[in-house]
A and B are shown apart, each in its own frame.
Chain A
C-alpha cells in the first residue's frame, strides 16, 4: 500500500512538468495525419501508440487503395471525406512524397441484373461528385485489361482510383509531424484516462501519466475500449471485421493494371484484385466478423473464398506466384458512418470511431475535417508560421534511372551493396531506415520502411544480414533484437559455453 502510494507520487511528480495541448491515442494513418495537421498551429502535441511502430494494426494490413468515393451513401461523411481525401493524395504526393500508383478502377458486372446495379452505382458516383467516371462495355474494358474475366459484360470505370503504400503514408505524416515538434511515444498502451477540471490525465503501461487539455481517440480497432475508459456510454461499438488476402509476387506485375472490384454488397466492397505500388498484386479481402478483434487469423475457408471470388474478376490468375497470405482487421462500428465528433459526455474528448474503409482514402481529409471543422483549432490557437509541410521523398534506389543511380553511387557507395536481393534493397536504404526521426531497430520496422524481406524469399536471405547491421548500428547483441514488439526476440539463446 505504502509502496503503491510512493510510486504514484513519483508518477505525479514526473507527469506534471508538461501539459500538452493535445494527446492523440493511436499512430495509424489517422493519428499520424491529425498530429501533422495540428502542427499548422502553435500547439504542443503528443502521440501515443501501444505498438512498437506506427501503422501496425489496421494501417498495416489492408488493400492500399485510394478509392474514388463512388460507393458511400451520398451525404455521408464517408462520401464527402473520401472524394476530398482522394484529391488530397495528389497534393500529398508532392508535399510528403507519398507513393501513388495511378491505376484507375473497374467495377465489373456479369449479367443483366448486375448491369442494373452497376448503373445505380454510377448514379451514386455522380451524386458523390466522383470525377471522370464512365461505363464501358466488355470489349472496351478488355483493351486495357486483357485478363479481365470473360464472364464480365460491363464495367464502371473510375479513373481517379489509385493505390498508395499505407505504411509510407503514416511514416511520412509522422516524420513530418515530429520535424514540426510533435512528440511520439511507441510501446505506450493507454491503461487509464481521467479528467480533472480541464485536464486529461492519460496513464500508459500502468506506470506513467501524461496530461493534456484535449484528447483525441484515433485508436482504430481499440477506439471503443479507449472511449470506455472515460465515457459511461460509448456511442458506438467496434465489431472487428477481418479481411484475408493473398499476395502475388511482383513478377506478375501487369497481370491486371486497374483495381478490379465486384459490385459492392452490405459487407463491403468484396474480393478485389489490386495491383500494388511495388508491383505485387493483392487478392482479397473477404469480410468476416470476428470475436477477437485483436487477433485476425487466416483460415482455409477464408482463403478459398478469396481465390474463388477473385476468379470472377480475371481469368487465369497466376496463383502459383503467391508469396504470402495475411489477415487484416477493419474497425467497423455499429454506427453506419465515420463517427468523428466531440464526446457528448466529456468536453474536449474527440472520437474517431468506426474508421474502416475508406479510412485510408480519407485519412488526409479526416485530419483536416477534425482539426478545422470539428475542433475548430484555429479559434483556439494561432497559426504556426514555422510549420514546414514538406518531407523529402524517400530514395527508392532500384526505381531510379541508371544515370541517377550512378550519380548517387559516387556520393554514397553503400547504395551499391544489395542486402535484400528479391526487392533489391541496398545497405544505404536500410541504414536510413534505422536512423532518422522514426528510425527502427526491428526486422519488421525495417521491412515496413524499405521492403527488405517483403519479396519472394520473405526475408530468408536478407534477415541475417539485417540482424548484423542492427547489432552493429545500435551496438547490441543479436539476442536483444526483436522482430516487432520487444518481446518478440529473434533468438532464445547463444550456443556453446561462454568462456
Chain B
C-alpha cells in the first residue's frame, strides 16, 4: 500500500499540513514521535498565540487543541510514539523507515512527504563559550519543559544568555515560580525577542537586559556545579571589551541563543541547503529541490509566531495535494535572491509550474531599520514595493503579490532600502 501523503511531525506545522491535505481529499498519514500531538506548543503555556489565525488570544496548549480537534474531526490517520529514522526516495516513491515499540521497524511508502519536524535549540557547544563545563548550563526550552510539563525548577539563581523569546518567557516563568533571575545578556545591540516579551517578561519584573554583552567565563565548584559566570560588553565585531567584566553568582545559565531547523531526515538527500536558514531551499510551494518532498514550519525557517507556522504549513499541505493531483505542469524556475539589508528569503525559488497566483515571500532583515521600503526587482524592473516601519531581525516579515506578469527567465532580487 502506498500512502498519498505522509506528514512527519505532529506539532503546529504537521497538524496544519495534514489538515490542509486531507481537506483536499488526500490519503494522509501523520507520524509523531511523542505520546501526544501538539509538539512544543504543549510546553508554551504563555499566551499570545492565535491572533492571526483565530483573531483571539490563546495559550500554546489551547492553540494546539484547536488544531487537534479539527484534525480528529477529519479522521486523519496518525501514529504516536513512532520515530522516523530514515527517509529515502526510490524512483518516484518515498520510503519512510519507522521505529517504534509497538511496530518495531516498519517501512511506509508514500507519493509525497511533508517534513514538519520542527527545530532544535542551539546548545553551548555550538558557540564558543570559554570556561568550565558544569551542570547548570541548560537550554531555555529544556528548562521550560521541566518547569511547565514536569513541575521541576532547574535552578534558584538564574542568568539568561540570549534574548530569544523562549529565554524571555522563561525569565518571567522562573521568576514567578520563585527563582531569582539576575539578568539577560544579548550579544547583538538589539533584542532577539518580540517587543512585548521584553515589556511583560523583563521590564515588569525589573530584570535587566544587557545588550551587546555575552558570557565570557563559566566557573564551577568542586562538584562541577555552576558557581558563577562573567559577562562582558562586546565591540561591533563581537570581541569582548576588557574592563567591562561583570560577575554573577548563579546556579543556572539558561541559553536562548537560537533555534536551528531539524533537517537531519534530509541528510541522505542531495538537496540545496540555504546556509542562512540552515534548512532546505524551497520553491513557493514549499517543495525542496527533490520533487514531492515538502518542508514547512520551524523545520523550514524559525518563526516568531505560531500563526505563521500554521498558515505556511497549511499552504504546504495544499501544495502536496496539488502535487499528488498532478497539477504541476512544468519545472521552469528562477531564483529569489536576498540583497541589501536582507538576511534571508524563503522561498529561494519561484517555480512557474504551480497553479498559485500569489507569491508569498518570508524574509528577515539583517539589521534594525526604523523606516524602510521593501523592493523587489527583476533585472532593472521594480516588480513590487512597499513601505514598512520598525523592521527588526527578530521579526519575520512577509510580502505577497501576484506573479503572473513576471518574466520566466530572470531572477528576483529582494532589497530593503533604508529611508
Contacts and interface: CB of A to CB of B under 8 A. Distances in A.
A415 B129 CA distance: 36
Given A418-B83, A478-B150, A493 B126 contact: no
B121 A457 contact: yes
Contact of A488 (B33, B128, B135): B135
A371 interface: no
Given A406-B104, A416-B105, A461-B120, A491 B130 contact: no
Most buried by B among A247, A327, A410: A327
Nearest to A458: B123
B177 A460 contact: no
B409 to A, nearest CB: 33
A495 B152 contact: yes
Contacts of A410: 104
A324 B134 CA distance: 14
A251 B267 contact: yes
A487 interface: yes
Given A300-B130, A492-B156, A405 B105 contact: yes
Contact of B121 (A421, A460, A483, A494): A460
Contact of A298 (B100, B126, B130, B135): B130
A476 interface: no
B132 A297 contact: yes
Contact of A325 (B105, B125, B145): B125
Interface residues of B, number: 50
Contact of A416 (B103, B141, B156, B275): B103
A346 interface: no
A326 B133 contact: yes
Given A460-B142, A488-B135, A416 B224 contact: no
Contact of B104 (A299, A416, A491): A416
A310 B145 CA distance: 38
A369 B69 CA distance: 70
B33 A418 contact: yes
A409 B105 contact: yes
A490 interface: yes
B101 interface: yes
A406 B146 contact: no
A493 B135 contact: no
B104 to A, nearest CB: 4
A113 B99 CA distance: 56
A377 interface: no
Nearest to A468: B150
A178 B126 CA distance: 39
Contacts, number: 133
A490 B85 contact: no
A485 interface: yes
Interface string A451-465: 000001111110110
A323 interface: yes
B178 interface: yes
Interface in A88-120: none
Interface in A404-433: 405-406, 409-410, 413-418, 421-422, 424, 426-427
Contacts of A300: 128, 130, 216
B127 to A, nearest CB: 9
A254 to B, nearest CB: 12
A384 B216 CA distance: 56
A247 B99 contact: no
A402 interface: yes
A493 B178 contact: yes
A405 B124 CA distance: 34
Interface string A255-299: 000000000000000000000000000000000000000010111
A484 B136 CA distance: 12
Nearest to A406: B105
A430 B247 CA distance: 39
Given A416-B102, A493-B153, A495-B147, A488 B223 contact: yes
Assign chain A's interface to a size class: 35 or more
Interface string B259-296: 00000100100000001000000000000000000000
A374 interface: no
B126 A484 contact: no
Contacts of B100: 416-417
A492 B360 CA distance: 47
B105 A483 contact: no
Interface string B103-128: 11100000000000000110111101
B135 A496 contact: no
Nearest to A461: B120
A303 interface: yes
A124 interface: no
Interface in B213-239: 216, 218, 220, 223-225
A322 interface: yes
Given A298-B130, A402-B105, A416-B99, A492 B155 contact: yes
A418 B99 contact: yes
Interface in B184-231: 216, 218, 220, 223-225
A488 B226 CA distance: 9
Contact of B123 (A297, A327, A457, A478): A457
Contact of B101 (A327, A402, A416): A416
Nearest to A307: B128
A299 B130 contact: yes
Contacts of B224: 484-485, 488
B243 interface: no
A488 B131 contact: no
A414 B81 CA distance: 12
Interface of A: 247, 251, 295, 297-300, 302-303, 320, 322-327, 402, 405-406, 409-410, 413-418, 421-422, 424, 426-427, 456-461, 463-464, 467, 478-479, 483-485, 487-488, 490-496
26 contacts: A247-B125, A295-B220, A298-B131, A298-B133, A300-B216, A324-B124, A324-B125, A325-B128, A405-B105, A413-B102, A416-B99, A416-B101, A416-B105, A418-B33, A421-B83, A457-B123, A460-B123, A464-B145, A464-B146, A491-B146, A494-B153, A495-B151, A495-B152, A495-B153, A495-B177, A496-B151
Given A324-B123, A483-B135, A490-B154, 9 more contacts: A295-B220, A298-B128, A414-B101, A416-B100, A458-B123, A464-B142, A467-B150, A485-B223, A494-B152
Closest 6 CB pairs of A and B: A324-B125, A487-B223, A491-B152, A409-B104, A483-B135, A418-B83
